[in-house]
Amino acid sequence: MNAKNVLHFAADQGAKFVSIRFTDLIGSWHHLTYPIAQLTEDSFEDGFGFDASSLRGWAAINESDMLLVPDAGRFWIDPFAEETTMCLIANVVDPITKEGYGLDPRSVAIRAESYLKFTGVADTIFFGPEAEFFVFDEVSFRNDQNSAGFSVNSEEGHWNSARQGTDLYPNTGFHIRPKEGYVPVSPLDTLVDLRNTISNLLGEVGIDVECHHHEVATAGQCEIDFRFSNLLHTADNVMLFKYIVKNTAVAHGKTATFMPKPIYGDNGSGMHCHQSLWKDGEPLFAGDQYAGLSEMAKFYIGGLLKHAPALVAFAAPTTNSYKRLVPGFEAPVNLAYSARNRSAAVRIPMFSSSPKTKRLEFRPPDPSCNPYITFAALLMAGLDGIQNRIDPGAPLDKDIYDLPPEELANVPSLPGTLDEALTALENDHEFLLKGDVFSTSMIERWITYKREKEITPLRLRPHPLEYSMYFDI
């Protein structure tokens, strides 16, 4: 697509406004909205000026001026705007150098795809993420100096089994027990119509849904799978997917969250990342080795496993992420690979014998991550494995959670906290700097922000559970 195509689309749709969208360092969408007349062919070269100093983790006040340069390859009509509004995804560009801003996540993804082609290893990497989420009927939380707490509710939640029903909201007795929510039919699954609506809207904005279903946890855990694509396009899709899910839920009087572990004692939400390398239209991960993999695929796995402690600083980037990454809830905390074994950090799906479907699934990521940065980091780790022929060792086809302690002690594991993951990233990030995909300053900014804005505030606050454990001590 080019600028003319975008402008013709806007005219055909009767667009009155254009929303220019971009992603901050942490992974949230932002936008500026302009009357449609402000969008011209020159806009796709000159961009729109804006102040980046107030965005999380971004420019200092003395270097705040940036440009939003729209990508003519991605546009759609916002299904939630009252006035007809066309949306465009933009890259953040330094106005002086005219290059992608070093802290712009989308620019990182673009550089990663360019580096892949430069290596000659492959020309395309495909990603297929499985982003899980919760849909609640209501949520409240507070963090004051003298009080703290949260409350969530879902009609599906097992804690409503004893609720006193009313004429308006009768208690039907159909509630999902903890860890028993995987793919039930209605009336247990109360969200099928909502997921249908979300799926239809995703199709309208260019995201092809393959399947949707209820997930394992009680209280409205869902998954909607959409078709894989290249790194940049898939990261764009994740951002748009989250926007559609959240706004559709609100439109139906509910709320959706991609927080990895919102409920104690039940499964959290992951974002397993399927990935495969291709060159000249041919798949490169199919071969005659373990689970039908090629030697290249095994080396790619070796890179993922070697760098996994550092990778999760991006892929599982919140303090809450490590309440999901614990044994017992299908969480891949141990660094191993296996065919079919979902307790391994890397799984090789065995649904098909076709070489075109041969891929690997990296399971630690969760949907709180910034997809541009996460996908780029996974690619760089895999490429490092290929370039340095990193042997992943023997596969582990046993259920890791049932291994005896002496055998489990030989299986390395992920960091247990975000702070540990950030330390791992501090000590292991040279592979990210190849091809100038990541910069040292960007990595340092990420680590500093996470420690100052997330880890320290949590560490300094008394927890409600501490009152239960220690008040009478």
Give catalytic residue positions: 51, 130, 132, 215, 223, 272, 342, 361, 363
Reference 91, options 232, 208, 278, 265; nearest CA is 232
Helix (H, G, I), strand (E, B) or coil at 185: coil
Residue 30 identity: H
Give the pair of three-digit tokens for residue 15. Answer: 């667009």
Provide DSSP, 196-237.
HHHHHHHHHTT--EEEEEE-SSTTTEEEEEE--EEHHHHHHH
Distance, in Å, from the CA atom of 386 to the CA atom of 296, rounded to the nearest integer, reads 6
Instruction: Name the DSSP class of 462.
Output: P
Rg (CA), the chain: 23
Element holding 194 (H helix, E strand): helix 192-204
Reference 29, options 232, 237, 201; nearest CA is 237
Q: How far is CA 239 from CA 243, 247, 368, 370, in A?
A: 6, 12, 11, 9
